[in-house]
Chain A
Amino acid sequence: MRKMFYAKLAWTGIRKNRKFYAPYLLTCVGMVMMYYIIAFLSVSDLLKGMPGGETMQGLLVMGCGVIGVFALIFLFYTNSFLIRRRKKEFGLYNILGMGKINLARILIWESLIISGISLAAGLFAGIVLSKLAELGMVNILAGNATFTMSIAPKAILQTLALFAVIFVLILLNTLRQIHLTNPIELLRSESAGEKPPKANWVLALAGAIILGGAYYLAVSIEDPISAMVWFFVAVVMVIVATYLLFIAGSVAVCRILQRKKNYYYRTNHFVSISSMVYRMKRNGAGLASICILSTMVLVMLSSTVCLYIGTEDSLRTRYPRNINLDTAVSDVSLLSEGRTATVKELSSEIAGQNGQELENILDYRVAGWVGYIRDGRIETESEVMYSFGTESNIWQIYLVPLEDYNRLMGQNETLEPGEALLYTTKLGSYPDDTITLEGGKSLTIKKRVSDFADNGVDAMQITPSMYLFVPDFAETVTPLLDITDSNGRKMISLHWFYAFDLACDDDTQIRIQEQLQNALNEANLAGEDGEVVSILCEGVAKERSGFYGLYGGLFFLGILLGIVFVFAAVLIMYYKQISEGYEDQSRFEIMQKVGMTRKEIKKSIHSQILTVFFLPLVTAGVHLAFAFPLIYKLLALFSLTNFKLLVIVTICCYLVFALFYVLVYRITSGAYYSIVSGAREDG
């Protein structure tokens, strides 16, 4: 009987405050649902069985962790907001004779109800939607799926355990807060007089400087490797700066405006600026969080969408042709007609047996090594190369015969011995006119060319590649072949690339690839002692699913996390609007008594809400714009260099996000108006 009394009190408490509890419950349900879906996908047998599924599940396990941590932080945040609103009620109970123990009982019941509802509803929604997510994922992996419903007990247990812990932690925190305050404070906690915020110039300035620094970093970094190193530094700087600027900077700006008397004492500015100061002080942190969440969503979405859309591009760069044969040899003489002719014959023969012809043939010789360029010299000492700070001068070097270049690119360039054509990839550039190879041979760069065949090695590496096309290939390469590192391993490898396209479906391609591989093994092309010939045979068709597993997984995860973050941003906004509504209620009542017209009040409210609301969106846009060069360079590491695609995808993401944001604005500002004007109707 007594037990039910507390449960009843808890239930009415929640119902009476449904304006606050409904969104909180919704968040909890949403978080549980999202977590279950991701956990479910990460253990789904259906996915595990698919090509590329394992890669994707690896990513999903990571996503699980991210969402778990995020749920903890975020639910804590929203709950603290709820507690603040309800302290008055608890104070009243306390004064009416309820001890802290009794309050604690109510709170325990409350959290039981909340966690019960959110776990039940969240798991239900999660189970219902998980199939949908699974189908979406299968679709991304380009496979077929059955439509049978399945439940993963392991994922359910995982979800239950995680959220039970979170809810218990939240409850403990609430109890601690109630325990620490006395009833008078509980009663009063909402209406405590507030000091006018002082502008903290130091912090504001620091924020501006840090942001400037981060932007400079983002824009000035040239090569992708530094971009990767500095990306995280820039992210941290931007986060810190955003918080500083929203909290201190905004107040400082308002203060400056207040000092300009002729600007400040205008009907439009007066009320807005002065309340803005308080608004920013109270909500600066919340707004900064919204801004950062928005930026994260945007960066994540635009890059993952871009990667996913660009998967075929990346595949093509990584595997320039449908079937790629990479023959590594130990001496230039081994690249002679005899052996290569055998490989070519075998290729067309096997293709012919499958009713196919070789198309788009790629055929060139190359000597490749990794070098460190210093003062116009390519060096290979590993001590220098692998020490910190040199990463931006590391290059993949390729020497290619000029005749191969001319043949492949349909050019007719001629060079004297000692001259070379230069081609660089991945935003790398080499400004000097001569370059000296190990061993002292110097090459004059006669011309820079803008294109050459794609190369899988270049696509896999984060370093840029430098192609040197020389007329006297054998003479230039031979002396280099003897260079070894301290372990006696050869530094330079000699290759012959032979690759071709096939106009057939993936299954046939895989069959051809396997037959070719077997045939090459049997042909035993290795020569006499000490001569090494090894042939690597790769096909796009076989690798495609792995690529989709990775990029599709990133894409899927990007969307899921994007939804969660947007969810969070919306909720922060909603609570912000509601709490401000209550704070502004009495203020606008007074203003009306003093002679402010309804129209003026509405206008003032509108301009303030608009500023507060769209400041994060605009800032996120600016952040995104400055992050763009960095993202571009990072994506270059994933062999995605389609600038136009990235621009379009980024802009689309921003627009879609902005649309969504405006929608949320309309809904939440409706709630705000109704609170503020409710007071006016009464007055």
Chain B
Amino acid sequence: MSILEVNGLKKVYTTRFGGNKVEALKKVTFSVEQGEYVAIMGESGSGKTTLLNILAALDKPTSGTVLLDGKDLSQIKDSHISAFRRDNLGFVFQDFNLLDTFSLEDNIYLPLVLAGKHFTEMHQRLTPIAARLGISEILKKYPYEVSGGQKQRAAVARALITNPRLLLADEPTGALDSKATDELLRLFREINQSGQTILMVTHSVKAASHAGRILFIKDGEVFHQIYRGNSTNEQLYQKVSDTLTMLATGGEKK
């Protein structure tokens, strides 16, 4: 069953002066199945971030629809959009977006507190997640006291604690060193294997090569996609980098 359906998404920005129109997304159509791990690749300016913002209901498309669990995002009232986002989507950002006034633990609790959950329930939910992400020991620390990898794992915990339908990750490895990157990608794999649907936007070949399917966006359109099939990470890595080379050198559409 598809958890996310994106149909004919179009987004046109009007620049502030002179009314120049910029087409960030031309016509994006794809769907994500329950339990899938999808990576979206594309160069800077290809519309990745716009797409993610629309999926996250932070931005509205000019035309086209986004259905999450069969529900049209554009039909949700403005007053409910935040609650909807909180209950159904989990976010992992490139720059972590942890609040430096909170300890890691409190950062992770934030969405639950906003949802009005009771402390005992929050605590019960946190314990297994923290253990799985290996951050049980550092929960009391503050963001400025831990490494980037640990911060990102805390951010993942924050995204997962609401049991979201879909985990959206925006360049999650962008600010991490290679060791922390490997660690995070391994965690994403594990999380995905336990049933969590993940949609990741990245331009790191390595990050993409951990996914089950890779979509390539160019000039506001889905240009190409690769399924993992039975490939290993290394084989997938090769395929992805071939595709990217082809895209960069202006290869023909398949």
Provide the bound-state CA to CA distance between A84 and B80, in Å: 40
Would you give the 0/1 interface string for B79-118, flagging 1 where the beta carbon is closer than 8 Å to chain A?
Answer: 1011101110001010001111111001001110111101
Residues of chain A within 8 A (CB-CB) of B109 are: 265, 270
- Measured CB to CB, the closest approach of chain B to A262, in angstroms, equals 6
Residues of chain A within 8 A (CB-CB) of B114 are: 267, 270, 594-596, 600
Give the interface size bracket for B toward A.
Answer: 20 to 34
Say yes or no for B138: interface residue by CB 8 A criterion.
Answer: no
- Contact across chains for B110 and A270 when beta carbons are under 8 A apart: yes
Give the interface size bracket for A toward B.
Answer: 20 to 34
Residues of chain B within 8 A (CB-CB) of A595 are: 82-83, 85-87, 111, 114-115
- Contact across chains for A274 and B102 when beta carbons are under 8 A apart: yes
Known contacts A195-B144, A596-B82, A597-B79; is-contact A591 B101 (Cβ 8 Å): no
In the complex, the chain B residue whose C-beta lies closest to that of A264 is: B119
- Measured CB to CB, the closest approach of chain A to B248, in angstroms, equals 31
Say yes or no for B246: interface residue by CB 8 A criterion.
Answer: no
Say yes or no for B54: interface residue by CB 8 A criterion.
Answer: no
In the complex, the chain A residue whose C-beta lies closest to that of B95 is: A590
Say yes or no for A3: interface residue by CB 8 A criterion.
Answer: no
Say yes or no for A599: interface residue by CB 8 A criterion.
Answer: yes
In the complex, the chain A residue whose C-beta lies closest to that of B87 is: A595
Would you give the 0/1 interface string for A171-213, flagging 1 where the beta carbon is closer than 8 Å to chain B?
Answer: 0000000000000000000000111100000000000000000
- Which of B97, B101, B115, B118 lies in contact with A593, CB distance below 8 A? B97
- Contact across chains for B101 and A594 when beta carbons are under 8 A apart: no
Residues of chain A within 8 A (CB-CB) of B144 are: 193-195
**8 Å CB interface, A570-605 against B:** 587, 590-600
Would you give the 0/1 interface string for A239-266, flagging 1 where the beta carbon is closer than 8 Å to chain B?
Answer: 0000000000000000000000110011
- Measured CB to CB, the closest approach of chain A to B117, in angstroms, equals 8
In the complex, the chain A residue whose C-beta lies closest to that of B110 is: A594
- Contact across chains for B101 and A265 when beta carbons are under 8 A apart: no
- Contact across chains for B101 and A274 when beta carbons are under 8 A apart: yes
Provide the bound-state CA to CA distance between A166 and B105, in Å: 49
- Contact across chains for A594 and B122 when beta carbons are under 8 A apart: no
Say yes or no for B142: interface residue by CB 8 A criterion.
Answer: yes
Say yes or no for B158: interface residue by CB 8 A criterion.
Answer: yes
Provide the bound-state CA to CA distance between A373 and B10, in Å: 97
- Measured CB to CB, the closest approach of chain B to A267, in angstroms, equals 6
Known contacts A593-B93, A596-B114, A597-B79; is-contact A275 B86 (Cβ 8 Å): no
- Contact across chains for B58 and A267 when beta carbons are under 8 A apart: no
- Measured CB to CB, the closest approach of chain B to A283, in angstroms, equals 14
Residues of chain B within 8 A (CB-CB) of A683 are: 58
Say yes or no for A277: interface residue by CB 8 A criterion.
Answer: yes
In the complex, the chain B residue whose C-beta lies closest to that of A592 is: B82
- Which of A262, A270, A597 lies in contact with B82, CB distance below 8 A? A597
- Measured CB to CB, the closest approach of chain B to A515, in angstroms, equals 81
- Contact across chains for A275 and B79 when beta carbons are under 8 A apart: no
Provide the bound-state CA to CA distance between A590 and B100, in Å: 11
- Which of A194, A270, A275, A594 lies in contact with B91, CB distance below 8 A? A594
Residues of chain A within 8 A (CB-CB) of B97 are: 590, 593-594
- Which of A261, A262, A277 lies in contact with B101, CB distance below 8 A? A277
Residues of chain B within 8 A (CB-CB) of A266 are: 113, 116
- Which of A193, A262, A267, A277 lies in contact with B116, CB distance below 8 A? A267
Say yes or no for A278: interface residue by CB 8 A criterion.
Answer: yes
Provide the bound-state CA to CA distance between A206 and B81, in Å: 48
Residues of chain B within 8 A (CB-CB) of A598 are: 82
Provide the bound-state CA to CA distance between A424 and B86, in Å: 74
**Beyond A267-B113, A594-B110, A595-B83, 20 additional pairs, beta carbon < 8 A:** A195-B142, A196-B103, A196-B142, A261-B119, A262-B118, A262-B119, A265-B118, A267-B116, A274-B99, A277-B101, A587-B101, A590-B98, A592-B82, A593-B58, A594-B158, A595-B82, A595-B111, A595-B114, A597-B79, A597-B83
Considering the complex of A and B, which 6 residue pairs feature the smallest CB-CB distances, nearest first?
A595-B86, A597-B82, A193-B144, A270-B113, A265-B119, A590-B97
21 CB-based A-B contacts, threshold 8 Å: A193-B100, A193-B144, A195-B144, A196-B103, A266-B113, A267-B116, A270-B109, A270-B114, A274-B101, A587-B99, A587-B101, A590-B97, A593-B91, A595-B86, A595-B87, A595-B111, A595-B114, A595-B115, A596-B86, A598-B82, A599-B79
